[in-house]
Amino acid sequence: MTELAAESPLLRVIGDDATPDGATDLTDAALLALHRSLLLLRTYDERSVVYHRQGRIGTYAISWGHEAIQAGAVHALEERDWIFPSYRESAVGLLRGIPPATVLSWWRGHPSGWWNPAQYGVASICVPIATQVPHAAGFAWGCRLREDDRVALVFFGDGATSEGAFHEGANLAAVKKAPLVLLCNNNQWAISTPLAEQSAAATLADKAAGYGMPGVRVDGTDALAVHDAVREAAAQARAGEGPTFVEAVTYRAAPHATADDPSAYVDPDRVEEARRDECLGRLEGYLQRRGLLNEKLAQSVRAEALDLMRQGIAAAEAEPPADPALLFEHALGDPPASFAHDLAELRRIQGG
Amino acid sequence: MAERLLVEAVNDALHEEMERDENVLVIGEDVGRAGGVFRATAGLRDRFGADRCVDMPLAEAGILGGAVGLCMAGWRPVCEMQYDAFSYPCLDQLINHVGRYRWRTRGAMSFPLVVRMPYGGGVRAPELHDDSPETYYVHAPGVKVAIPATPADAKGLLAAAIRDADPVVILEPKLLYRTSRGEVPDGEHVVPLGSARVAREGTDVTLVAYGAMVPLAERAAEALEGEASCEVLDLRTLKPLDEEALLASVRKTGKAVIVQEAPRTLGFAAEVAAVLAEKAILDLHGPVLRVTGYDVPYPYWQLEDLYMPSVDRVADAVRRLLSF
């Protein structure tokens, strides 16, 4: 972090050996709720890697170390605001009430991994990089046109800022003064491509100027700083001031996904440093210094999250095999005759 | 009933549907102040305001991706792509999201958006203002595709598309925008998606066509009068395809020539030929022939008449088929 911090200061609240803790106006209850969310996301991620190794879910995109960005942002929004996740934020819906079984089913490739975005204010997990940015811009603009004061927040990574879809979405949001928060998880790696080969900009937040929107940089391992930056950006958006680009700077201390072996390209010392400074430990340290958290409480929150995951994977595994009709159902509101024919033929061949 | 040019019929449909449903938005490049480069959206901004007929940043993926989000916020966006070949950036959104999102949400959310664009050649335009990109759109699951050949259908198919629960792509033959004039019903006029039209009755050969190739096929049928009685079937909707109408016509004539201006390989004519091979083999009295553009880049316009299917090429195919 130090070399980046030298370029441009990062917003920080949580202190370290050299810096005292800054101020937050979050209540004790809100701080503990935020901690519970970080821990849930961490537990989800660590368990998912295990489930993958056990062959219980498919390829999984790891989000270890990014919990401060995800939970910090979600806690800064109102319930009615919408979130547009990429696959890196696959579990962010847990913070909005999506059952763990649903998200685990998504990683199991089972259609019970579907959800209704309108029910949770969480769009479907977006796989193709940056293509969710125009969706979020269009949604936010569409809300503004209806004089509905909802805000949209879109997650994407540093690599996504190279995509045309990022540019087109950011520009659209700025031109239409869409109430959007563009939250870039700059973990400095797009699979194996380092940031320096992704962008020649001094910082990603500098890109915001080109769209005529504010750009802020925040320490992505500091949940309180992310929370403050997103809350401020959301307030601006809701007030009709348009979008803000928030660059949350962190370091990817885990593989991109379960199919990735980063030993070929990362510096293990740098990973070790990032793991030492990881976001959950930083928040827990802060809460302990405030006297809000002790090991007993942390244990009980951890046990609760583990229990949720155990129930989640059990429920996902208890799902019956998907009915072949689900191949066709819902593809179109008004399905063509060929669907019924194809399904009947498939059932006949399957002997069903 | 009023006589209208095809592009005026498009404009009429947009006025009717925006009046009928306040959730309908028209978005695109130059659709507002200018009323569209072909004037298809003329008058909408004045009538419905700049928030319902919206000039967008020049970014096709942004327009269609933005439309996905607008649908999530309850709007029914009608997106204009300025030209066929300029629409390709939007294929990213169309293939990855527009056609899949409903399925992803188990049908809980629908994406009732329309993409409409002028397409096709024969208008002496600069490079990349002449493509027939229908195959790319038809191939994307979860999306319907219609192509009108008459002013009445240009209005009725667009109205059906705007009211449809599913994403629909409408390709409008720009060659016919101001060369095709015809009776267009006043007020609401809806032509259901998925129904073909017999443009001309005949008994010897079925000429299967869509868009700008329909009037061409009709001219070829006239030229062949005395030699062959040609039926002209205007598909109107490519997906879903009206197989019944196609099979009924070929059952009657036993012969089919399919005309498309897109390049030959994997063009929509190949799909029509495959349907005939699967479902009409015993009705056929000869090979299914295609008259298409060539598998080459669409040429600069001094060569375009050689590229485009012509009356002579269609007539030649019919004669080859008759002598089979």
Q: Name the catalytic one among A88, A252, A282, A286.
A: A252
Which 3 state secondary structure label does DSSP give B141?
A: coil
End-to-end CA distance of chain B: 45
- Confirm or reject contact between A174 and chain B (CB < 8 A): no
Minimal C-alpha gap between B309 and chain A (Å) = 31
Mean pLDDT of A234-243: 98
The interface predicted TM-score (ipTM) is 0.96
Q: Is B189 noted as a catalytic residue in this protein?
A: no
Interface of chain B against chain A, CB under 8 Å?
Answer: 25, 51, 56-57, 59, 61-62, 64-75, 89, 92-93, 96-97, 101-110, 141-142, 144, 164-166, 194, 239-240
Q: In B56-204, which ranges are E strands?
A: 76-80, 114-119, 144-146, 168-173, 181-184, 197-200
For chains A and B, what is the number of CB pairs under 8 angstroms? 142
- Confirm or reject contact between A6 and chain B (CB < 8 A): no
- Decide: B26 and B57 in contact? Cβ < 8 Å: no
Complete DSSP assignment for A138-151: HHHHHHHHTT----
What residue in A sits closest to B22 (Cα-Cα)?
A146
| pLDDT value at residue A8 | 65
Q: CA-based angle B316:B322:B324, to the nearest 5?
A: 105
Which 3 state secondary structure label does DSSP give A182?
A: strand
Tell me the Cα Rg of chain B. 19
State the residue for tokens 């950011």: A170
Residues in chain B within 8 Å Cβ distance of A325: none
Interval B136-167: pLDDT, tens: 999 999 999 999 999 999 999 999 999 999 99
**Sign (positive or negative) of CA dihedral B201, B205, B209, B212:** negative
Residue B185, class by beta-carbon neighbours within 10 Å (0-12 exposed, 13-18 middle, 19+ buried)?
Answer: middle
Provide the b/e sequence for A280-308 (b: ≥16 CB within 10 Å). Answer: bebbbebbeeeeebeeeebeebeeebbeb
Q: Which of B48, B61, B51, B38 is nearest to B14 (CA)?
A: B48
| pLDDT value at residue A4 | 46
Interval B239-289: pLDDT, tens: 999 999 999 999 999 999 999 999 999 999 999 999 999 999 999 999 999
Give the nearest partner residue to A171 out of B57, B68, B101, using CB atoms: B57
The dihedrals phi and psi of B202, each to the nearest 5 degrees, come to -165, 175
Interval A1-54: pLDDT, tens: 444 444 568 999 999 988 999 999 999 999 999 999 999 999 999 999 999 999
| pLDDT value at residue A9 | 81
Return the bridge partners of B173, or none. Answer: B119
Q: How many CA atoms lie within 13 A of A73 on its CB side?
A: 34
Q: Is A265 noted as a catalytic residue in this protein?
A: yes
- Confirm or reject contact between A347 and chain B (CB < 8 A): no
Mean pLDDT of chain A: 95
B22 CB contacts (<8 Å, ≥6 apart)? Answer: B52
Residues in chain B within 8 Å Cβ distance of A121: none
Whether B103 sits inside 8 A of A143 (CB atoms) is: no
Chain B interface mutation, best of A135, A148, A171, A339, highest count of B Cβ atoms under 10 Å: A135
Q: Name the catalytic one among B129, B139, B189, B285.
A: B129
Minimal C-alpha gap between A151 and chain B (Å) = 11
Whether B65 sits inside 8 A of A140 (CB atoms) is: no
Residue B296 binned pLDDT confidence (cut-offs 50, 70, 90): very high
What residue in A sits closest to B52 (Cα-Cα)?
A145
Whether A134 sits inside 8 A of B69 (CB atoms) is: yes
- Decide: A228 and A24 in contact? Cβ < 8 Å: yes
| pLDDT value at residue A2 | 42
**Mean pLDDT lowest among A6-20, A160-174, A258-272, A275-289:** A6-20
Polymer length of chain A: 352
- Decide: B152 and B9 in contact? Cβ < 8 Å: yes
Mean pLDDT of B82-94: 97
Give the nearest partner residue to B96 out of A82, A118, A131, using CB atoms: A131
State the residue for tokens 């009295």: B285
Q: Provide the token pair at A215.
A: 């750009």
Interval A312-323: pLDDT, tens: 999 999 999 999
Whether A114 sits inside 8 A of B105 (CB atoms) is: yes
Q: Which of B234, B146, B152, B164 is nearest to B188 (CA)?
A: B152
- Decide: A35 and A284 in contact? Cβ < 8 Å: yes
Whether B73 sits inside 8 A of A330 (CB atoms) is: no
Residue A66 binned pLDDT confidence (cut-offs 50, 70, 90): very high
Which 3 state secondary structure label does DSSP give B317?
A: helix
Interval A161-215: pLDDT, tens: 999 999 999 999 999 999 999 999 999 999 999 999 999 999 999 999 999 999 9
Give the nearest partner residue to A117 out of B56, B103, B109, using CB atoms: B109
- Confirm or reject contact between A106 and chain B (CB < 8 A): no
Cα–Cα distance measured from residue B282 to residue A207, given in angstroms and rounded to the nearest whole number: 64
Give the nearest partner residue to A138 out of B69, B102, B142, using CB atoms: B69
**Sequence-ordered alpha helix ranges (H) in chain A:** 2-5, 28-53, 67-75, 100-107, 117-120, 132-145, 164-175, 207-211, 223-238, 268-276, 279-289, 295-318, 337-350
Q: Name the catalytic one among A47, A75, A135, A256.
A: A256
Cα–Cα distance measured from residue B55 to residue B34, given in angstroms and rounded to the nearest whole number: 9
Q: Which of A202, A309, A222, A231 is nearest to A19 (CA)?
A: A222
Q: What is the value of pTM for the model shown?
A: 0.96
Q: How many CA atoms lie within 13 A of A146 on its CB side?
A: 21
Q: Provide the token pair at B186.
A: 């006043």
Whether A146 sits inside 8 A of B74 (CB atoms) is: yes
Q: Provide the token pair at A136.
A: 């979020």
- Confirm or reject contact between A147 and chain B (CB < 8 A): no
Q: Which of A138, A339, A144 is nearest to B113 (CA)?
A: A138
Residue A351 scores a pLDDT above 90: no
Cα–Cα distance measured from residue B229 to residue B202, given in angstroms and rounded to the nearest whole number: 5
* Cis, peptide link before residue B240, omega less than 30° from 0: yes
Whether A134 sits inside 8 A of B75 (CB atoms) is: no
- Decide: B184 and B199 in contact? Cβ < 8 Å: no
| pLDDT value at residue A176 | 98
- Confirm or reject contact between A103 and chain B (CB < 8 A): no
Whether B72 sits inside 8 A of A118 (CB atoms) is: yes
Phi-psi region of B168 (alpha: psi -120 to 50; beta: other; left: phi over 0): beta
The dihedrals phi and psi of A260, each to the nearest 5 degrees, come to -105, 140
Interval A106-137: pLDDT, tens: 999 999 999 999 999 999 999 999 999 999 99
